[in-house]
Amino acid sequence: MRKERGTNVDFIKELQSFKTIVEEGTFTKAAAKLNYAQSTVTNHIKKLETELEVALFLEGKSNVLTLEGELLKQEVPGLIAQWEQVKEQLHNASSTIDSSIRMGIVQPYDISILPELLHMFAQQYPKVKFEILVGPTMELAKAVKENRIDVALCSLPHEGNFVYEELFQEELCCITSIHNPLTINKPADFEGCHFYRFNDDSLAHKKVESYLASCVPSIHWEYVNNISTIPYLIEQTGYCSLVPRSIVDQTHAGIKILANPLANTRMSIGLLSKKSLIHSPSITKEFVFELKKRLL
């Protein structure tokens, strides 16, 4: 019957003793290096052998490993490293009492990505405070510039001195109501249409809308603050709009994607900051790492 063992800390000490014996060649040298009595090192090995139910050293030869000892020798560095990583995570969790994560994010990623990520992170680091700003690229860029947030997931603003890491490119889709019989083959087919324009400062969005406005001066532009509401407005009004594909994918509104006669209708989505995130606090870097894992 297997004997009940001590704590995980005891087990790590036993592994450390085993590892040091292998490195130093004898129990005596290992004890001296670890600043233990030799009897302590001997007891560590006895407990380890009892727990594993194998002999780690040949009988009468304390410097010769058995086959099982050789196998453990290969695994010990990884086991100890894993324990050190756990200790570091626990230390981080307990030493971030006054830490905060200040981040901005564009729609719809505040709904599709953020809730699960915040829940996971809050469980791992319960003392961290979150300051989340949801808004268009223009608003988030201003908040970064004014040091109100440290990083934003958004598009590339058309102006400003920022550090920007592109993560992916997203298609801009031209949408209208499923009840609108409108068909598009060329920009001129938008003649007289009403377009909802989202108050966005992204470089791609501005270029596409400016091009469309120059090609079809008769377009009627309507301004909406919340991009996620645009598909539902279109369902009722039959108007048109250019929105990111992610908005189309998450809506339940009765809309359809029109054929897009416009060139270069992709927008960049990435991380915007005032300075390189390399210099950010470790807690912010870890949050950004988890965010990127869910996006890429």
The confidence score (pLDDT) of residue 2 equals: 44
Contacts within 8 Å (CB) and 24+ apart, 46-55: 47/5, 47/6, 47/10, 47/14, 48/11, 48/14, 48/15, 48/17, 48/18, 50/3, 51/2, 51/3, 51/5, 51/11, 51/14, 53/2
Contact 68, 55 (CB under 8 A): yes
Look at residue 255 and give its three-state secondary structure: strand
The confidence score (pLDDT) of residue 84 equals: 82
Bridge partners of residue 257, in order along the sequence: 175
Distance from C-alpha of 147 to C-alpha of 143, rounded to nearest angstrom: 6
Region of 192 on the Ramachandran plot (φ > 0 left; ψ -120 to 50 alpha; else beta): left
Chain Cα centroid distance, residue 266: 23
**Could you tell me which of 151, 106, 101, 148 has the C-alpha nearest to residue 122?**
101
Contact 235, 177 (CB under 8 A): yes
- DSSP letter for 202, please: B
Cβ within 8 Å of residue 279, ≥6 positions away: none
The confidence score (pLDDT) of residue 10 equals: 83
- DSSP letter for 278, please: G
The confidence score (pLDDT) of residue 7 equals: 58
Q: What is the mean pLDDT of each run of 10 residues along the chain (296 residues)?
A: 56 90 90 91 91 88 85 90 79 62 93 91 85 92 93 84 92 93 90 86 75 88 90 96 91 92 84 88 88 91
Do you know the residue count of the chain?
Answer: 296
